[in-house]
Chains A and B, each alone.
Chain A
Amino acid sequence: MELIILYNVLKQYDDGAVTALNNISLSIEKGSFVSIIGPSGSGKSTLLNMLGALDSPDSGQVIIDGIDLATQKDLSDFRRHEIGFVFQLHNLLPNLTVQENVEIPLMDANMSEKDKHRRALLFIEAVGLLDKKKQKPNKLSGGERQRVAIARALVNFPSIILADEPTGALDTRTGAKVLDVLRFVHESIDATLIIVTHDRDVARLADRTIEIRDGQVINDYYNR
């Protein structure tokens, strides 16, 4: 079943001087693990931002779970419930502890404070950082911060996990651990996992790889 459909999506910057996405069309199946690969400036992060409703196309349609995002006035609920976004530079809030950072998406959830703590701790444990739950991000290593960002992205049980170069700033060993966590969660909660990377080895871990260059799909294939 197709969860995500992009139809002729165009996105330009600098008054049309730069075309990030050039009338791109594709679809992604529910529960799949997809990698998007391409060189720097190819448009892969822009594509991921479209899928996460963080940005809107200049033209074309982004349809997720049957909903055309352009028809939605406020996408904040959609982002909170459906999307778990893992940024390349994690974007944790520096003044909050690990646990508080993970609890941010639960702010408006209809649950008691105790349940919020319990849920956050469940994911902090899943990424192996239970002993660091009271630490601030500046006391953590790059890999640990990325794992906190993953826990924050997953705490609402999103149906789509989007990860923008999640291993880009990490060494090979730490990067592998982070990928293990992502794959484990993807399998555990049956979420659709989409990873942007420029690393072909990482891309090969996915069921399917979409290759992008100059804002267009130049290759789309299954790895197994």
Chain B
Amino acid sequence: MWFDQASPDDLNYLAQYGVWGGVPAIPVCLPGLGRYGRYQFDRYLLLQKNDLTIAQRRELVFLADYFHKIDHFEFFELTADANERDIKKAFFRFSKRFHPDAVRELNLGPFAEHVRLVFEYGQQARDLLLDDQAFKDAYARVTKARDLAYHSKLQAERERQHQKVAEARSKGIKPPKSMRVGATPTPLPQNQRSQAEIDERKSLLRERLAQNQGRRQAHEQSKQSADLKSQAKTFFMAGEQAEARGQVSRALNHFKLCVEYMPKEQKYIEALKRIEAKVAEDRASKLWQEADSLYKSEDSIQKQAALDLFKEACALSPSERRLVAFTQYSLEFELVEDLIPILQKTQQKEPFNIEYMWLLCQCFELSKSLSDTQKYMEMILGLDPSEPRALRLKKRYRF
């Protein structure tokens, strides 16, 4: 009888709750066999498509199939000496995995029924263990006694087997296959370590704990950066959408945020640059239109104002067409001081565009700095020796 070592009072008390109050006769989780003992999993079921992790699936299948064959402590991965706090924590862990709310958004596949069953049972087990201290104590005592009895029985059986083998060996008979085991019986783990050993083990565990903590911190950091990444990605997508819809300033804001979150991501920086250019271009073209309309009027003051607007537009987005036009207007008014820096800047950006050099030539010619004019003219001729405008210039000034 497994329950020989349990007190009869406890057994009687538990009997009120059904057969031994739900303490099964054999522990499933034997030492060395892990949580699921010798449970045979149905591989086909485990590999069905759904959103659960494999570990969760294994646990679900096992619990749903075996909840009446394991005791309440094993159900929550606890030992019989767990206190109220441990049980609570274990239940919280359990419900974070299997509460209907926790799996609400998941595709459970064939496991929906398992989750429902297991959570319902878990609640009952928790209520039994937590709400009734007397039950819990009796349950813990009986479970312990059962484990002890079962282990000692296992040990005895093993020893008997080894004895048989030894006897057979001594008689020169080869033992049958089923009895072939190691020469000496492996003792069950017992708490017979010396203090020094225990201390050593403790320090080892502490070390591992520290290591794990380091790893956890690293993990959290990486998670944070992943958060940033995902945030940036959402902003990027929103920005792209806005851009597609033509909401430029909104897109600009989104891309700015993107770059703020992930300042090193080349894709985002490029997008930001692109959109900034677009915004500048938009504004420039607006200014340009305005300036154009002003310039058409006969009033010279308005024309002057138009020139200012032209300048602003060119500074924002210097395109060839604009610069050519602007230079022309400026030459008309003989106002090239503002124009030269813009032109120079643009020319440096696109060093092989002859048009810009020619514009510069014209400007410097107007401002009577012939050395600069010559410099740019030579640059043009260096690039294209047969450029007619430059040749004409050369002829005129006899460089």
Q: Is B truly associated with A?
A: no
Q: Which residues of B pack against A, CB within 8 Å?
A: none
Q: Which residues of A pack against B, CB within 8 Å?
A: none
